[in-house]
Amino acid sequence: MIALVKGELVYKSVDHVIVDVGGVGYRLIIPLSTFYSLPETGVVQLFVHTHVREDALQLYGFLGIDEKELFATLIGISGVGPKLAVNILSHIPVADLKLAIAGGDVKRLSSLPGIGKKTAERLVLELRDKIDTSGLQPANAGEAPVARASASLEDVISALVNLGYKETQARRILESMEIAPDAPMETILKGALKVLVK
C-alpha cells in the first residue's frame, strides 16, 4: 500500500496531480483544499490513501495527515464513496467538518454538494462519537475577496461541473461575482465555491 509520495510536481489540475517519483509518474486524485495549497511546480509531499477496487487502483493525495485520515473515516460510512468524500473535503475545511459532525449540524452538512439530509444525518449518527474536536477552531469564512478573471472563466465552469454543479448554475454564480481581470483561476474557483456553499 502506498502511504506517502514525495517527488516533482509535473502536472496540476483541480481534481488531480501527477507527481514524478524517480521517473515514475503517480496520478493522485486530490480535493480542492490540496489543490489551492500546492505550488505550480517543485518538489511536493502528499499523504496517500490507496483505494483498491475490482477494476481499478486509485490513489488519493492530501497535503495533511488529518485530511487523509478524515477521508478514510468518511469512506467507511455506508453511502459515502471516495468521489463523494473528496467532494466533501473540497467544500469544507477539516476543522469545520469535524465541528459540524460533532455538533450535529445537519443543515450545514446537507448544504454540501452531493450530501442530502439522510446522508448528513448518517454522518452525524455514525461519526459524532468518533470525531476529536479538541482544540479546533472554525476556519475563517471571510478570507480573500472574490475576484474575476476573463481568461479562466471557462476553466472554472468546467471545474464546477466536474464537482457536481450544473453549468447554468455555475455561469449564474460567476456572472453575479466581481472578478478582477488578472485574477487567477484558483481565486475565482475558490470564490465561486464560497458563494455556492452558503
Question: Residue 171 belongs to a domain with what CATH number?
Answer: 1.10.8
Q: Is this model's pTM higher than 0.85 or not?
A: no
Start-to-end CA span in the chain (Å): 38
Residue 147: pLDDT band with limits 50, 70, 90: very low
12 and 51 part of one domain = yes
122 and 73 part of one domain = yes
14 and 48 part of one domain = yes
pLDDT for position 50: 93
Give the whole-angstrom CA distance, residue 97 versus residue 128: 11
Domain for residue 104, yes or no?
yes
The type of residue at 165 is Y
Q: Based on the structure, what is the number of domains in the chain?
A: 3
Identify which has the larger pLDDT, 144 or 192. 192
- Measured on CA atoms in the order 93, 151, 168, 80, is the torsion positive or negative? negative
CA distances from 62 to 25, 65, 70, 130 (A): 17, 7, 10, 21
99 and 85 part of one domain = yes
**Residue range of the domain that includes 97:** 65-127
118 and 75 part of one domain = yes
79 and 111 part of one domain = yes
Residue 169: pLDDT band with limits 50, 70, 90: confident
Among 18-32, 55-69, 108-122, 140-154, the least confident range = 140-154
Mean of all residue pLDDT scores within the chain: 83
The residue among 62, 79, 95 that closes a domain is 62
Give the whole-angstrom CA distance, residue 183 versus residue 188: 7
In SS3 terms, 69-100 reads as HHHHHHCCCCCCCHHHHHHHHHHCCHHHHHHH
* % of residues, the chain, pLDDT over 90: 31
Is residue 100 within 8 Å of 92, Cβ to Cβ?
yes
**pLDDT, tens only, 68-96:** 999 999 998 888 899 999 999 988 888 88
pLDDT for position 181: 60
Residue 29 has pLDDT above 90, yes or no: yes
Using the structure block, give the residue that is written with the C-alpha cell 457536481: 164
49 and 77 part of one domain = no
9 and 58 part of one domain = yes
**pLDDT, tens only, 120-143:** 999 999 988 888 766 666 655 433
Domain for residue 17, yes or no?
yes
Domain of 40: which CATH number?
2.40.50.140
Identify which has the larger pLDDT, 54 or 14. 14
Domain of 102: which CATH number?
1.10.150.20
Domain for residue 132, yes or no?
no
Domain for residue 87, yes or no?
yes
pLDDT for position 141: 42
